[in-house]
Amino acid sequence: MKNILGENEKIADENRKLFREKNVFVINLMGSPGSGKTTLLEKTLSKLAEKLKVAVIEGDLFTARDAERIERQKVPVVQINTAGGCHLDAAMVKRAAESLNLEELDLIIVENVGNLVCPAEFDVGENLKAVVLSITEGDDKPLKYPLIFKESAVAVLNKIDLIPFTNFNLEQARADLATIHPQIKIIETSCTKLTGLDDWCNFILENF
Ligand SMILES: Nc1nc2c(ncn2[C@@H]2O[C@H](COP(=O)(O)OP(=O)(O)O)[C@@H](O)[C@H]2O)c(=O)[nH]1
Ligand SMILES: [Mg+2]
Ligand SMILES: [Zn+2]
């Protein structure tokens, strides 16, 4: 495991160097399957595209379904299929970035494979990690999967519209996140009610 991570780190550093040379900011967007990563992108890409030239790299085990969804937002998109692999690594992102015109981009958002565990361990050369946690997953997830929340600069609490139908304790989740990562920025969003999306866009623009 140490060797694999060491090799990955080398390629991640090369990616980061290349992205810096080309002035491209890269966000590694992580979270469980179904937390709403692709929906969040669908609802915010056009807003971001007013200010920045954005592209998306989609990671999935199989299918190009998410890439097809992103394509409708009229931004360049590359699909990576991991053929069963449960996370993206730096080499996969390096290959995907080769089919993007970096000269013409300001921002790449990489949607990682849906998984709260190993995506957090594999640096892909990003500038910033973000994690989406949806209300239906339960408020205990930060304490059960602390690494991904420790690594992420921002936690998007998505599906906030579903709060009345669940026993999700927002206060508890916020307190646990603050214990794991005191500096983490918490943004509450609903992609169905279209709330909090400006906060997410502004966070990106401020950290860009
Ligand atoms: N109620 C509700 N459903 C949402 C929200 N965001 C996404 N969804 C739904 O959650 C499901 C999974 O979303 P998707 O974006 O594919 O998740 P991903 O696997 O993380 O990319 C879809 O049926 C979405 O319509 C939200 O804010 N509220
Ligand atoms: Mg998705
Ligand atoms: Zn994995």
pLDDT tens figures, 57-115: 999 999 999 999 999 999 999 999 999 999 999 999 999 999 999 999 999 999 999 99
Residue nearest to atom 3 of ligand 1 (CA): 159
Q: Residue 46 corresponds to which amino acid?
A: S
CA distances from 92 to 32, 51, 120, 192, 198 (A): 20, 28, 15, 32, 31
CA of 181 to the centre of ligand 1 (A): 25
List phi, psi (to 5°) of 193: -90, -5
Instruction: Give me the pLDDT at residue 168, please.
Output: 98
Q: Residues with beta carbon < 5 A to ion ligand 3?
A: 86-87, 118
CA of 83 to the centre of ligand 3 (A): 12
CA of 180 to the centre of ligand 3 (A): 22
Integer-rounded Cα radius of gyration of the chain: 16
What does pTM read for this prediction?
A: 0.98
- Spatial distance between the Cα atoms of 199 and 187, rounded to a whole number of angstroms: 7
User: Which atom of ligand 1 is nearest the CA belonging to 189?
Assistant: 27
Is the C-beta atom of 112 inside 6 A of ligand 1?
A: no
Beta strands in 61-202 (DSSP E): 77-81, 107-111, 128-134, 154-158, 185-188
Mean pLDDT of the chain: 97
H, E, C per residue of 179-194: HHCCCCEEEECECCCC
Specify which residues 31 forms β-bridges with: 115, 132
| Closest listed ligand to the CA of 85 | 3
Q: 95: closest CA among 106, 108, 111, 79?
A: 79
Instruction: Give me the pLDDT at residue 61, please.
Output: 97
**What band does 132 get if pLDDT is binned at 50, 70 and 90?**
very high
Instruction: Give me the pLDDT at residue 182, please.
Output: 98
Q: At residue 127, does pLDDT exceed 90?
A: yes
CA distances from 62 to 31, 82, 94, 191 (A): 17, 7, 19, 24
CA of 57 to the centre of ligand 3 (A): 17
Beta strands in 62-127 (DSSP E): 77-81, 107-111
| Closest listed ligand to the CA of 60 | 2
